[in-house]
Amino acid sequence: MNPQNLSIPILVPFLLALISFLLPSRIKWLRETVAVLGAAIIVYIAITFFGQKETFYTLPWLGHGIDFELRLYQFSQFILLALSGFVFLITLYSTVKMAGHSRVREYYGYIFLTAALAAGATLANNFVPLIFFWEGLLITLYALINLGGKNAHRTAVKSFIIGGFCDFCMILGIAILWSQTGTLRMSDISVLPQGLLAVSFFLMMIGAIGKAGAMPFHTWIPDAAIDAPVSVMALIPGALEKLLGIYLLVRITLDFYKLEINSPFCITLMIIGAATIVLAVFMALIQKDLKKLLSYHAVSQVGYMILGIGTAVPIGIIGGIFHMINNAIYKSGLFLAAGSVEHQTGTTELKKLGGLYRAMPFTALGFLICAAAISGIWPLNGFVSKEMIFHGSYETGYTIFTIAAWLGAILTFASFLKAGHAVFFGPRNPETPQVRENKSPIYVPILILAAICVVFGIYNWIPLKFFLEPILSGHLPAGETLNFSSHALALFNPIAMISMGCLLLGLGLHIYGFKRGGNKAYLVSEPIHHLPVLNTLYNWAEARVFDLYEQGIKFLQALSSFLFKFVDRPIDFFYERIVVSVGRACTGILKAAHNGYYANYLAWTIGGLVLIVWAIGALLR
Amino acid sequence: MIFLFIIVPLVLAALMPLLGKISKRFLPDLLANATMLFLLVFSVISAKPLIANGGVIQQAFWFGAPINIRLLLDGFSLFMLFTISLVSFAVTLYSIDYMEQYGAKANYYALLLLMIAGMNGLVLTSDLFNIYLFLEVAAVASYALVAFGQGHDELEASFKYLMLSAVASAFILLSIAIIFGLTGGLGFGAVASGLKTLNIKYVVGFCSGLFLMGFGLKTALVPFHTWLPDAHPSAPAPISAMLSGVLIKVSGVYAMMRIFLNVFGLTPALTTVLTVLGMASIFVGALAALGQKDIKRMLAYSSISQVGYVILGLGIGTPLGIIGGLFHLFNHALFKSLLFLNAGAVEQSTGTRSLDQMGGLAKRMPLTAATSAIGSLSIAGVPPLNGFWSKLLIIIALVQAKMHVLAFLAVLGSVITLWYYLVLQHNAFFGKLNDTWKSVKEAPFWMSAATVMLALLCIIIGLVFPMIIHSWLQPAADVLSSGVAVTLNFIGF
């Protein structure tokens, strides 16, 4: 492939963004047509790029190792393809869902800008362009969240600050890495994390998992689920950020740093992963709003990926990456389904919904398949990737992480039983009578995503062989080959048996809760919600006690009011009163001295002359 | 060739009153502007290549016989010529509209051209007596111009200016007489070589003191500045711009530096005195400006303060200090004339100079407000405008010369400058529009053209300052920093 073509996946969406910004808003169908066709072109480009040989492109830029370098290879091809696919599906979905939005012009512009920046971040082979694209995504995310409801701005700022903090850590880590290795070319870096490099590993890791939305950098996602347009949620926290964050995490753990199995770095990653799984799923369980519930799962699932990658054993890593793409697929599907329900009923509160499966059969079908996939039900894709992660974490010898992952599986299934039950089954809610299936641009993307869930589960050799195994191929000892597909769907081994047992437990929890909650599906999690210690913790969590951002804001507000009272005011007093009055006094003296009398001025002149002559004489001596 | 710099304005100055009989406005406007444009172009296109290999001296002939007038054109004098021509061009352009209210345009241009001839002569001459001569030519023209309005204040200011200048001139003449008596020569080369052979440092010190007082008064260095806050505001706005923009620098800074650096040689004692006087000027000027309610008076005090920076930079005597000082001289010529011209525009539109009565004029006079903002930010040293770079160079030079306290004070002075220019901008242009000025109009075309030209120069020079330094300042600074050595080559004259 011609190296110069590497910039096409960045430039084409960028041009589309420009066109979207400039298209007059009067001609309605034109913008939607352009958007869908443009997204299709992006997908076409990504397909033509897939399977190409490794290609480098270097454009000299600032010198000192800061050049515009791109690299296309198996992994980035795969991410690029996935990104483009999501952009296409979301654009298609938006043609109906966003049609009535007052700022739809900006919406498409930012979506394509996001696509351009994400492609740039994927292809970058130099840390400086990477940071450029990475930071740009922060801005488009801010802009896209801002398109939402009336509280959107606050959430947008929150996402921006949290993202900014993570990116700052990453930049710091990159700076340390640069100072230690002397190069910014990503493909040249492969070091052992020792000394300062260990610090830089942690900092860059924060950047990667922060983008992916792991705890404790997740708190904006549940807020955004309420405030941001649902298609934005499906595209960005649902898919793009997982892809990019995990992509970078894999690059860090596989390429930039050589990690030993069960080294402190791996243990840290696994702890973060396990904690994210368990804590987020506990939060997800008690949510009473479909979008908010999904957003906590978006966080929880990241834990699986980080756990898998943190195991540093091949099956775990592949499982983590596989889970990344699987999660992006079904989580997008779920968000889109939630959006579809919202489009018809005007709400996503579980209490107000119910029995929609007849009215919205396609949405219900898509939702159920995706929910089954995220819960890890045999033989869907979620089952395969989760099994690989269970196996990987079990291989490290730290069974505790496997147990945490199983606990997550129980509660995930329980919470999706609740969500599915409350939305699509049970009695129809009288508040939402006029409900029918949406237009095809809304349910087709959901069904496509659901279909991929099925295909990737049953024919799991397709993604494993074409997408995933090539990624690890460069990192294996010579002669060893990978083949996961043979036992990927095997049910008869202890780990898979336990997983199935977990699902049964989840079902049991649901039935118990359903009985206790007076046959109201949205109340099934209440028994767990009201467990003695958990209840307190839940109350704290609802009060955002664990939200580092909110606590940080509180701390900063206290700090700034302290600084205002005890530092700023005194300084201000110094300037306002002391400096000004000294200035005034000097000015007053000078004004009084310049009284306009010639004799006075002449005396100054002569006096000055005498003084100067005396001074020169004294200085010459 | 070089004589044209003096002869052209001189001849036109003589013709101007006669032309005024034929045409009251058109011809004087046209000829004055054409002269200035000619001088500007001439200094860039013809004179610049002339000094490619160092200074040149031209001898005057009277009917074939050489007479005792020699003109010296080197980097320093050309730099000054360029500055004079640039500001004069802006000023004559501005005068087309502004001087309508005064009438007697021909006489006005005659005096202006005479002053320019005097200044051009001063920077081109190569002996001490001619310095005195041209100094007086320019000064006499400026006395008349300050009093051009013929009101009470104008006449009083002009008289005060005349009386104090006369004292200065007397001391300058006294000093020249002493030096002539000691060395037997008046040419720069002759004096420099004469002083070299004599061991009379105290007498030279005494003469330096006299010169410092005389030229210091022309420069308006503290404590010799007292005439300036009266004289500069009283003159018509273009003349204020001319006086503050170039006259104080030519008749003060140029003459002083030419004599001290190229003829006497800079001694540590002189450096100390110059830097102290410069610093005193910075603070007295700035603090006094802070308390002014009259916009032009504030600008006049500001001139004292800014010339302090010029003297400070040049007084250090290091190559970087000289470049910084000269650059600030040039920049100050630009933005101070810009600000005075703007003040004139405001005065013409509103009829007042009091900052208390103005307010919100930006709404009615957007161009004036914008150019004034550029000038104010520039003089306060806000990057990337030209004033920032020159102040920065001076401060760097101070640090390099291990004068850290002075460097700190220079920064402090710059802060006070920002302070009173913000007061000026705020009171005059920003805030709520005073009801009195509802019907105020923007300045006429030529006035705006002049101010916009100067404002653009402030921005452009700020952006491409390395080019300016390389092509105009470096040759000038080379002359000054090579000291007496360069002058000794002219012994023959």
Tens-place pLDDT, residues A477-527:
655 666 666 666 677 788 788 888 888 888 888 888 888 877 777 777 777
Q: What is the pLDDT of residue A477?
A: 63
Q: Using alpha carbons, select from A468, A297, A430 the residue that is nearest to residue A367.
A: A297
Contacts of B201 in chain A (CB under 8 A): 620
Between A and B, how many CB-CB pairs are < 8 A? Answer: 85
Residues belonging to chain B with any Cβ–Cβ distance to chain A shorter than 8 Å: 160, 163-164, 167-168, 171, 201-202, 205-206, 208-210, 212-213, 216-217, 223-224, 226-227, 229-230, 267-270, 272-273, 277, 284, 287-288, 290-291, 416, 419
SS3 (DSSP) at A55: strand
pLDDT digit string, tens, across residues A106-124: 888 888 999 999 999 998 8
Whole-angstrom distance, CA of residue A242 vs CA of residue A239:
5
Cβ proximity of A350 and A289 under 8 Å: yes
Q: Supply the pLDDT for residue A97.
A: 78
Chain A residues in contact with B288 by the CB 8 A cut-off are 587, 590-591, 594
Contact B206 A604 (CB under 8 A): no
Beta-carbon separation of A584 and B205 below 8 A: no
Task: Write down the pLDDT at residue B491.
Answer: 53
Asked whether residue A242 is assigned to any structural domain, the reply reads no
The answer to whether residue A542 sits within a structural domain is: no
For residue range B20-78, list pLDDT tens digits in order.
888 888 888 999 999 999 999 998 888 888 877 777 888 877 777 877 788 888 889 99
Q: What is the pLDDT of residue B343?
A: 93
- Write the CB contacts of A267 (distance below 8 Å, at least 6 apart in sequence): A310, A398
Q: Please, which residues bridge with residue B66 across strands?
A: B61
Task: Encode pLDDT of B440-489 as tens digits.
Answer: 888 889 999 999 999 999 999 988 888 888 888 898 898 888 888 888 87
Judge: A608–B272 Cβ closer than 8 Å, yes or no.
no
Phi and psi, residue A465, nearest 5°: -75, -45
Of B163, B223, B284, the CB nearest to A607: B223
A537 assigned to some structural domain: no
Q: In this complex, do A609 and B213 lie within 8 Å of one another by their Cβ atoms?
A: yes
Q: From the CA of B315, how many Å to the nearest CA of chain A?
A: 14
- Residue B167 has its nearest CB partner, among A605, A607, A616, at A605
Instruction: Name the one residue in this structure whose structure tokens are 């500045």.
Output: B225
Q: Are A605 and B213 inside 8 Å of each other by CB?
A: yes
Minimal Cβ distance to B209: which of A596, A604, A609: A609
**CB-based contact A405:A329 (threshold 8 Å):** no
Q: What is the mean pLDDT of residues B143-149?
A: 90
Are residue A522 and residue A554 in the same domain, yes or no?
A: no
Q: What is the pLDDT of residues B166-222, one digit of tens each?
A: 999 999 999 999 999 988 888 888 888 888 888 888 888 899 999 999 999 999 998
**Are residues A459 and A339 both part of a single domain?**
yes
Which of A588, A601, A608 minimises the CB distance to B291? A588
What is the SS3 assignment for A495? Answer: helix
**Number of residues assigned to chain A:** 621
Using CA atoms, how far apart are residues B465 and B385, in angstroms rounded to an integer? Answer: 9
| Mean pLDDT, chain A, whole residue set | 84
Residue of A616, A619, A621 for testing the chain B interface, max B β-carbons within 10 Å: A616
Task: Kindly state whether residues A189 and A273 are assigned to the same domain.
Answer: no
Measure the CA–CA gap between B254 and B310, rounded to whole angstroms. Answer: 11
Determine what percent of chain A is predicted with pLDDT higher than 70: 97
Set of chain B residues whose Cβ sits within 8 Å of the Cβ of A594: 226, 229, 288
Chain centroid to CA A600: 76
The stretch A320-344 carries a mean pLDDT of: 87
Check: CB of residue A160 under 8 Å from CB of residue A242: no
Could you tell me if A5 and A147 lie in one domain?
Answer: yes
Please check whether residue A322 lies inside any domain of the structure: yes
- Would you say residue A540 lies in a domain? no
CB A587 to CB B284 under 8 A? no
Interface test with A, best of B172, B226, B422 (most A CBs within 10 A): B226
CA distance A386 to A402: 10
Nearest to B39 by CA among B74, B12, B75: B12
Q: Which of B206, B224, B273 sits opposite A605 (nearest CB)?
A: B224
Question: How far, in whole angstroms, is CA A27 from its chain's centroid?
Answer: 34
pLDDT at A430: 75
- Checking if the pLDDT of B394 tops 70, the result is yes
Each residue of B399-421: pLDDT tens digit? 999 889 999 999 999 988 998 89
Domain count of the fold of chain A: 3
Of A590, A591, A616, the CB nearest to B273: A616
Q: Of A165, A197, A232, which marks where a domain is finished?
A: A232
- Residues from A contacting B (CB-CB < 8 Å) are 583-584, 586-588, 590-591, 594, 596, 598, 600-602, 604-609, 612-613, 615-617, 619-620
Q: Cα(A133)–Cα(A24) distance, rounded to whole angstroms?
A: 28
Is A300 a domain residue? yes
Cβ contact B438:B370 at 8 Å:
no
Pairing between β-strand B65-73 and β-strand A66-72 as defined by DSSP bridges: unpaired
CB contact under 8 A, A596 and B230: yes
Q: Which residues of B touch A584 (CB under 8 A)?
A: 290-291
Evaluate whether A1 touches A57 at the Cβ level (below 8 Å). Answer: no
Residues A162 and A295 in one domain: no
For residue A613, which residues of chain B lie inside 8 Å, CB to CB?
Answer: 205-206, 209-210
Instruction: Please indicate whether residue B217 or residue A597 has the higher confidence score (pLDDT).
Output: B217
Domain that holds residue A118: 1-232
Chain B nearest C-alpha distance from A579 (Å): 11
Q: For an interface test with B, which of A589, A602, A620 has the most B Cβ atoms less than 10 Å from its Cβ? A: A620
Give tens-digit pLDDT for A42-79.
899 888 888 788 888 888 877 677 788 888 888 888 88
Enter the tokens of residue B146.
Answer: 């300050």
Quote the CA–CA distance of B203 and A122 in Å, as a whole number.
79
Test mutation, B169, B287, B302, chain A, max A CBs within 10 A:
B287
Task: Show residues of chain A in contact with B210, CB under 8 Å.
Answer: 609, 613
In this predicted structure, what is the pLDDT of residue A488?
61
A71 found inside a domain: yes
Same domain, A516 and A557: no
pLDDT at A476: 67
Nearest CA in chain A to B291: A587
Please judge whether B210 and A613 are an interchain contact, meaning their C-beta atoms are less than 8 angstroms apart. Answer: yes
The whole-angstrom separation of Cα B44 and Cα B50 is 10
CA angle B238–B239–B242, rounded 5-degree value: 90
Helices A152-181 and A220-227 cross at an angle (nearest 10°) of 140
Q: What residues in A contact B290, CB-CB < 8 Å?
A: 583-584, 587
Chain B: give the shortest CA distance to residue A614, in Å.
Answer: 9
**Within a domain: A248:** no
Integer Cα distance of A68 and A291 in angstroms: 39
If asked whether residues A169 and A313 sit together in one domain, one would say no
- Name the residue among A447, A332, A448, A441 with its Cα closest to residue A93: A441
Q: Are B131 and B255 in contact (CB under 8 A)?
A: yes
Distance to chain B for A575, nearest Cα, Å: 12
Q: For A374-386, give the secondary structure using H, E and C.
A: HHCCCCCHHHHHH
Taking CB atoms and an 8 Å limit, are B287 and A617 in contact across chains?
no
CA nearest to B240, candidates B355, B313, B158, B167: B158
**Long-range CB contacts (< 8 A, 24+ apart) of B40-48?**
B40/B82, B40/B85, B40/B86, B40/B88, B40/B89, B42/B4, B42/B5, B42/B85, B43/B5, B43/B78, B43/B81, B43/B82, B43/B85, B44/B82, B46/B1, B47/B1, B47/B2, B47/B5, B47/B73, B47/B78, B47/B81, B48/B78
Q: Considering only CB atoms, which chain B residues are within 8 Å of A602? A: 163-164, 167
Closest CA to B51 of B6, B82, B9, B89: B82
Question: Of B168, B177, B124, nearest to B142 (Cα)?
Answer: B168
- Reported as a single tens digit per residue, the pLDDT across B234-255 is 889 999 999 999 999 999 999 9
Residues of B in contact with A592 (CB under 8 A): none
pLDDT surpasses 70 at B490? no
Confidence of residue B139 (pLDDT cuts 50, 70, 90): very high
For residues A394 and A305, state if they share a domain: yes
- Judgement on whether residues A571 and A432 belong to the same structural domain of the protein: no
Distance, C-alpha B362 to centroid of its chain? 29
Q: Could you identify the residue written with the tokens 């016989």?
A: B65
ipTM above 0.85, yes or no: no
Cα torsion at B451, B454, B460, B464 (round to 10°)?
Answer: -170
Q: Do residues A265 and A186 share a domain?
A: no
* B267:A620 CB<8 A: yes
Give the residue from B213, B222, B279, B293 with the most A CB atoms within 10 Å of its CB, the best one to mutate: B213
pLDDT greater than 90 at residue A187: no
Q: What are phi and psi of B288, to 5 degrees?
A: -70, -35
A607 vs B291: CB contact, 8 Å cut-off? no
The shortest C-alpha distance from A286 to chain B (Å) reads: 56
Q: Please tell me the predicted confidence (pLDDT) of residue A440.
A: 80
Out of A520-524, A602-606, B81-85, which region has the weakest mean confidence (pLDDT)?
Answer: A520-524
User: How high is the pLDDT of residue A487?
Assistant: 62
Q: State whether A57 and A24 are in the same domain.
A: yes
Residue A450 sits in the same domain as residue A567:
no
Torsion, Cα of B136, B141, B143, B144 (10° steps): 150
Contact A613 B206 (CB under 8 A): yes
**Mean pLDDT value across residues A380-398:** 84
The tokens describing A304, both together, are: 């699986």
Q: What is the 3-state secondary structure (H, E, C) of chain B?
A: CCCHHHHHHHHHHHHHHHHHHHCCCHHHHHHHHHHHHHHHHHHHHHHHHHCCCCCEEEEEEECCEEEEEEEEECHHHHHHHHHHHHHHHHHHHHHHHHHHHCCCHHHHHHHHHHHHHHHHHHHHECEHHHHHHHHHHHHHHHHHHHHHHCCHHHHHHHHHHHHHHHHHHHHHHHHHHHHHHHHCCCEHHHHHHHHHHCCCHHHHHHHHHHHHHHHHHHHCCCCCCCCHHHHHHHCCHHHHHHHHHHHHHHHHHHHHHHHHHHHHCCCHHHHHHHHHHHHHHHHHHHHHHHCCCEHHHHHHHHHHHHHHHHHHHHHHCCHHHHHHHHHHHHHHHHHHHHHHHHHHHHHHHHCCCECCCCCCHHHCCHHHHHHHHHHHHHHCCCCCCHHHHHHHHHHHHHHHCCCHHHHHHHHHHHHHHHHHHHHHHHHHCCCCCCHHHCCCCCCCHHHHHHHHHHHHHHHHHHHCHHHHHHHHHHHHHHHHHCCHHHHHCCCCC
- The H or E element that residue A80 is part of is helix A74-97
Token representation of residue B310? 């010029």
CA distance B393 to chain A (A): 27
